[in-house]
Amino acid sequence: MSDKTYDLLVLGAGPGGYVAAIRAAQLGLKTAIVDANAALGGTCLRIGCIPSKALLDSSHRYHSAQHELIDHGVHVAGVGLDLEKMMQRKDKVVKALTGGVKSLMKKNEVDVTHGRGVLRGPGEVEVTGDEGEKTTLEAEKIVLATGSVPSTLPGVELDGDRVGSSTEALAYPEVPERLVVIGAGYIGLELGSVWARLGSQVTVLEYLDRILPGMDLEIAKAAQKIFQKQGLELRLGTKVTGVERDGDLCRVQSEGNDPIECDRVLVAVGRKPASQEIGLEEVGVETDERGFVQVDEHYATNVPGVYAIGDLIGGALLAHKAEEEGIACVESIVTGYGHVHYDAIPGVVYTEPEIASVGRTQEQLEEDGVPFKKGTFPYRGNGRARAMGAEEGLVKVLAHQETDRILGVHILGAHAGDLIAEAVAAIEFGATAEDLARTSHAHPTLAEIVKEACLAATEDRAIHI
Ligand code: NAI
């Protein structure tokens, strides 16, 4: 016997899940959402995107006060770090936003149940609260949106303390003197930057011979040089084989190298789907060998009435990709049509400077034998970048050789994460490089660099170089 019955129930209140719930409510469905954590918003809001951006911003200000303001003729004396206050500010930001999601649920009349939800059958979810109390909810459609959790390596056990994931690295109680980061991906570079700016000696160990696998190689190489200049020690081609704890000391072993001693280890070697203990086996929902739930183009699993979106189904593990899938899934349930354009999902690394990317990389085009032309334009050729003291970086535009259609845009430089939005819209609308090159961009803005790179891609017509 169920305690309550709904049209649609979402399991997991991260960006994928709570957005899906709001859209379902907007479309007139009686909707419920279940989350094990009382603070809604998932990994992104609680222990991911938002707190990391708060710390990236705070640590940047600290670093800038020490090293950059002087170039602007601003003398500051007695710059100090109050880490506790920095963390409190981060927590306040998180609290305001998770509270905001709760208000959104109320406004949209989505019923929130706090507890751990498990599929008990098609249309049935059992929720266990903190005190062990059980509630059964029924819904015609169930959308699984439980996200992902940090993964680790053989020989490296996450101890929730000195050898930890991003969760711990967002809340170290003191600035570690020596921090070893395993993995030069999104998390390793963002959180490695935070602690380097706050004074840690940071060593990043990366298995591959490059940083940021999947990103355009030319951009990744340019970024690598900048990070090294900033003081991040990047050891590429390093395969970590184990981590040992000796009291407060950690020893990181890697193939063919002496162990590295440090105070804390951040393991950032990817994430895995949170597909355990949510009843998938019991109900017979199919997953692949890595645990990602298998879905069709409407996000339907093999079990009728059960859908899945976001990190749980794989692809790019990004909040905004999950949001798009949540909306497409619900719209397709209600209207029969819902679609995500995966070539137009941007990726942003919030380092300083930022790295942003959308569409295909040069390597992918070469591998697929797609004829393309390329235009690049450096930040140093832009007046606004000069005025800001942000000369590092470039915009790279890849367009089809014959049709001129934009296939990929890759940006390394200040505000790359905001600038990429124009490129995403261009790809979404099937624009050509000529279209953007002939579009007026306000002067002086960084957006002019995108225009100039498009000019460069169309017959080498860039003006300011
Ligand atoms: P990642 O997949 O971005 O990078 C993991 C890195 O670890 C890779 O470079 C890989 O080659 C390396 N690695 C794997 N095994 C290794 C070994 N044995 N020794 C040394 N290096 C090894 O994963 P990351 O940084 O953990 O992030 C997880 C997910 O979270 C990503 O998929 C990312 O999309 C998402 N994320 C997104 C952010 C954003 O949008 N700004 C920020 C943080 C995370």
* Residue 369 CA, ligand 1 centroid: distance in Å: 28
Q: Which atom of ligand 1 is nearest to the CA of 208?
A: 11
Best residue for ligand 1 mutational test, from 271, 311, 313, 323 (most atoms within 8 Å of Cβ): 271
17, 307 Cβ separation under 8 angstroms: no
Instruction: Report which protein residue has its CA nearest ligand 1's atom 16.
Output: 207
* Residue 317 CA, ligand 1 centroid: distance in Å: 10
Catalytic residue among 67, 339, 341, 443: 443
Q: Which atom of ligand 1 is nearest to the CA of 184?
A: 9
Q: Which atom of ligand 1 is nearest to the CA of 49?
A: 42
Name beta bridge partners: 234: 204
Instruction: Report which protein residue has its CA nearest ligand 1's atom 2.
Output: 270
Instruction: Report which protein residue has its CA nearest ligand 1's atom 24.
Output: 270
Name the domain boundary from 295, 312, 340. Answer: 340
Residue 463 forms part of a structural domain: no
* Residue 164 CA, ligand 1 centroid: distance in Å: 14
Both 133 and 191 in one domain: the answer is no
CA 249 to chain centroid? 30
Cα gap 38→49, rounded to integer Å: 18
Please name which of 162, 167, 154, 159 lies closest in space to residue 179, comparing C-alpha atoms: 162
Best residue for ligand 1 mutational test, from 186, 235, 418 (most atoms within 8 Å of Cβ): 186
Residue 194 forms part of a structural domain: yes
Please name which of 117, 94, 98 lies closest in space to residue 33, comparing C-alpha atoms: 117
Looking up residue 252, the CATH number of its domain turns out to be 3.50.50.60
The torsion angle over the Cα atoms of residues 279, 334, 347 and 417, rounded to 10 degrees, is -130
Residue 158 forms part of a structural domain: no
* Residue 431 CA, ligand 1 centroid: distance in Å: 31
What are the start-end ranges of the E strands in 12-115? 31-35, 111-114
Cα gap 31→37, rounded to integer Å: 18
* 443 labelled catalytic: yes
Q: Which atom of ligand 1 is nearest to the CA of 188?
A: 25
Element (H, E) at 220: helix 217-229
* Residue 220 CA, ligand 1 centroid: distance in Å: 14
Residue 122: what pLDDT? 86
Both 35 and 102 in one domain: the answer is yes
Q: Give pLDDT tens digits along the chain (465 positions).
A: 678 899 999 999 999 999 999 999 999 999 999 999 999 999 999 999 999 999 999 999 999 999 999 999 999 999 999 999 999 999 999 999 999 999 999 999 999 999 999 999 989 999 999 999 999 999 999 999 999 999 999 999 999 999 999 999 999 999 999 999 999 999 999 999 999 999 999 999 999 999 999 999 999 999 999 999 999 999 999 999 999 999 999 999 999 999 999 999 999 999 999 999 999 999 999 999 999 999 999 999 999 999 999 999 999 999 999 999 999 999 999 999 999 999 999 999 999 999 999 999 999 999 999 999 999 999 999 999 999 999 999 999 999 999 999 999 999 999 999 999 999 999 999 999 999 999 999 999 999 999 999 999 998 899 998
Cα gap 222→418, rounded to integer Å: 19
Residues whose CB falls within 8 Å of the CB of residue 167, separated by 6 or more in sequence, listed in order: 47, 150
Instruction: Report which protein residue has its CA nearest ligand 1's atom 28.
Output: 270
Residue 306: what pLDDT? 98
The amino acid occupying position 275 is S
Residue 157 forms part of a structural domain: no
In terms of C-beta density within 10 A (0-12 exposed, 13-18 middle, 19 or more buried), how is residue 306 classed?
buried
- Which protein residues are within 6 Å of ligand 1, measured from CB? 153, 182-188, 190, 205-208, 213, 238-240, 268-271, 316-318, 348-350
Instruction: Report which protein residue has its CA nearest ligand 1's atom 6.
Output: 183
Both 21 and 118 in one domain: the answer is yes
Residue 465: what pLDDT? 87
Both 392 and 292 in one domain: the answer is no
Peptide bond into 444 cis (omega under 30): yes
Residue 69 forms part of a structural domain: yes
366, 382 Cβ separation under 8 angstroms: no
Residue 253: what pLDDT? 98
Both 283 and 247 in one domain: the answer is no
Pairing of strands 178-182, 264-267: parallel
Both 42 and 139 in one domain: the answer is yes
Cα gap 322→316, rounded to integer Å: 9
User: Domain limits at 292?
Assistant: 4-150+273-340
Residue 274: what pLDDT? 98
259, 155 Cβ separation under 8 angstroms: no
Both 396 and 286 in one domain: the answer is no
* Residue 265 CA, ligand 1 centroid: distance in Å: 15
Cα gap 346→369, rounded to integer Å: 23
Name beta bridge partners: 398: 374, 408
Read out DSSP for 351-394?
SSSEEEEEE--HHHHHHHT--EEEEEEEGGG-HHHHHHT----E
Both 231 and 325 in one domain: the answer is no
Residue 1: what pLDDT? 60
Name the domain boundary from 249, 269, 289. Answer: 269
Residue 61 forms part of a structural domain: yes
Both 286 and 139 in one domain: the answer is yes
Residue 428: what pLDDT? 98
The amino acid occupying position 136 is T
Please name which of 33, 119, 16 lies closest in space to residue 328, comparing C-alpha atoms: 16
Q: Which atom of ligand 1 is nearest to the CA of 189?
A: 25
* Residue 211 CA, ligand 1 centroid: distance in Å: 10
Name beta bridge partners: 118: 126
What's the structural domain count of the chain? Answer: 3
